[in-house]
């Protein structure tokens, strides 16, 4: 699930980024490229942690609402699915009509993959 949040990037002996909407979410790096990469990771891990602890995920502010005294406002995007920790497969029992199972098997269609793809689409996680 792609998330985009405004951030403030600062330059002091390298770079550091903070997310005004997410208290305590920040990171730093020696180059701009490294800092932006680490910002995506920090944002993803922060949001996944909120979700895994059943805490609400704050809505991102508009970049125009961000007050910048020292630094520059930018957007940082991240895919939360990359940072989800419990990715183990679990078995679930399901029922489908026999003729449909036969057709899927004849066409080498993985029911597990179809179900995963459909769930991601229904949950807007794709």
Which sign, positive or negative, has the C-alpha torsion 92, 95, 100, 101?
A: positive
Contact 58, 68 (CB under 8 A): no
Predicted confidence at residue 59, as pLDDT, reads 95
Predicted TM-score (pTM) of the model is: 0.72
Q: How buried is 104 (Cβ within 10 angstroms: 0-12 exposed, 13-18 middle, 19+ buried)?
A: middle
pLDDT tens digits for 5-40?
999 999 988 999 999 999 999 999 999 999 999 999
Predicted confidence at residue 120, as pLDDT, reads 85
* Secondary structure element (H or E) that encloses residue 10, with its range: strand 2-11
How many percent of the chain have pLDDT more than 70? 99
| Residue 105 tokens, joined | 């098997």
Q: Render each residue's pLDDT in the chain as its tens digit; 126 residues.
A: 789 999 999 998 899 999 999 999 999 999 999 999 999 999 999 999 999 999 999 999 999 988 888 899 999 999 998 888 777 788 888 899 999 999 999 999 999 999 989 998 898 876
Q: Which residues of 44-79 are buried (b: 16+ CB within 10 A; e: fewer)?
A: bbbbbebeeeeeeeeebeeeeeeeeeebebeebebe
């Amino acid at each position: 699930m792609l998330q985009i949040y405004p951030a403030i990037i600062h330059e002091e002996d390298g770079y550091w980024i903070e997310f005004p909407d997410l208290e305590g979410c920040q990171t730093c790096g020696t180059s701009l490229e490294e800092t932006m990469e680490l910002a995506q990771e920090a944002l993803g891990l922060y949001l996944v942690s909120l979700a895994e602890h059943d805490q609400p995920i704050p809505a991102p502010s508009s970049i125009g609402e961000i007050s910048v005294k020292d630094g520059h406002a930018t957007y940082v995007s991240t895919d939360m699915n990359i940072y989800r920790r419990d990715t183990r497969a679990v078995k679930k029992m399901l029922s489908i009509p026999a003729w449909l199972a036969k057709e899927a098997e004849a066409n080498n269609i993985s029911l597990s993959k179809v179900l995963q793809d459909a769930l991601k689409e229904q949950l807007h996680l794709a």
